[in-house]
């Protein structure tokens, strides 16, 4: 009764039908702009300031680990896509997504996408499976479209073991909630790890949290940029 799929043009489709949909079949199609929104365009439309653009450019070039946080449809993916333009072209990037949305322009990009199980429950490939595989692909940077489960712990450990400059997004209302959610998702990995050790690793791994918010009129804006101190 629940279907997640994609149209040939890349649009994401979600279908809910009986018995889950009580009042009839519901179909949602999420279309993406064919134009690549670069960081200069985001400055022009007021998503972030010129000073913030310069600061984020320095952070990406300096291989700082960045999380983009925000609610649904707040512009997280668009900002992450724009920030990836600051990654030097000679670096090898592995992109991991639940449903492919990012459109990186670099030459050395490996794009991995999770797979749902078939109707018999076989053949599932999770983001965590892809993350473990990505570590064997000799990446300079790892980009996760959205952190949503136990792969958070794998990401934290990768960031603290030589994969600087990695980036990802997660759902959170503010930077403090983003760290709390990251802890919760890391605990979902079922690895026996004391909370104080997990917090020490997370604070050492994440250098920067960029908070995106959708305003009442529909504008998407960077409302906070928070540095994390170890």
pLDDT, tens digit (0-9, with 9 covering 90-100), for 132-169 = 888 888 888 998 888 888 888 888 888 887 778 889 89
Q: How far apart are CA 52 and CA 229, in angstroms?
A: 19
Lowest mean pLDDT among 97-111, 127-141, 192-206: 97-111
pLDDT, tens digit (0-9, with 9 covering 90-100), for 21-79 = 999 999 999 887 766 678 888 899 888 999 999 999 999 999 999 999 998 888 888 89
Give the position of tokens 């076989």.
122
Q: What is the pLDDT, as a whole number, of residue 208? A: 94
pLDDT, tens digit (0-9, with 9 covering 90-100), for 107-138 = 889 999 888 888 888 888 888 888 888 888 88
Q: How far apart are CA 92 and CA 88, in angstroms?
A: 9
Q: What is the pLDDT, as a whole number, of residue 177? A: 93
Q: What is the pLDDT, as a whole number, of residue 35? A: 66
Q: How far apart are CA 220 and CA 214, in angstroms?
A: 5
Q: Are 146 and 157 in contact (CB under 8 A)?
A: no
DSSP string computed for 24-75: S-EEEEE---SS---HHHHHHTTSS-HHHHHHHHHHHHTT--EEEEE-TTSS
Q: What is the pLDDT, as a whole number, of residue 162? A: 74
Tell me the pTM.
0.86
Q: Are 102 and 119 in contact (CB under 8 A)?
A: no
Cα angle: 188, vertex 143, 109; to 5 degrees: 140
H-helix or E-strand spanning residue 155: helix 151-159
User: Which is nearest to 43 in space by CA: 2, 79, 17, 71?
Assistant: 79
User: Which is nearest to 96 in space by CA: 136, 59, 133, 150?
Assistant: 133
Cα angle: 81, vertex 82, 84; to 5 degrees: 70
Backbone angles phi, psi at 167, to 5 degrees: -140, 160
Q: How far apart are CA 184 and CA 66, in angstroms?
A: 18
- Within 10 angstroms of residue 88's Cβ, the number of other Cβ atoms is 12
Residue 86: DSSP 8-state: G
Q: What strand order describes the sheet that includes 220-227?
A: 109-113, 93-97, 141-144, 167-171, 66-70, 208-214, 220-227
> How large is the average pLDDT for residues 91-102?
85
């Amino acid at each position: 009764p629940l279907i997640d799929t994609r149209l040939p043009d890349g649009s994401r489709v979600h279908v809910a039908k009986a018995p889950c949909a009580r009042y009839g079949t519901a179909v949602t199609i999420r279309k993406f702009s064919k134009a690549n929104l670069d960081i200069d365009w985001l400055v022009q439309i007021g998503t972030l300031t010129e000073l913030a653009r310069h600061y984020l450019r320095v952070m990406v070039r300096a291989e700082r680990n960045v999380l983009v946080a925000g609610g649904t449809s707040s512009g997280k993916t668009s900002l992450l896509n724009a920030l990836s333009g600051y990654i030097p072209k000679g670096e090898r990037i592995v992109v991991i997504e639940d449903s492919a949305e990012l459109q990186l322009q670099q030459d050395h990009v490996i794009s991995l996408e999770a797979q749902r199980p078939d109707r018999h429950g076989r053949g599932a490939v999770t983001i965590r499976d892809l993350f473990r595989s990505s570590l064997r692909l000799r990446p300079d940077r790892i980009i996760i479209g959205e952190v949503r489960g136990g792969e958070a712990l794998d990401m934290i450990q990768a960031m603290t073991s030589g994969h600087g400059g990695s980036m990802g997004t997660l759902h959170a209302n503010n930077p403090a909630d983003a760290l709390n959610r990251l802890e919760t998702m890391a605990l979902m990995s079922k690895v026996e790890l004391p909370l104080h050790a997990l917090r020490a690793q997370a604070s050492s791994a994440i250098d920067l949290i960029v908070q995106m918010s959708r305003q009442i009129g529909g504008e998407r804006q960077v409302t906070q940029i928070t540095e994390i101190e170890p």
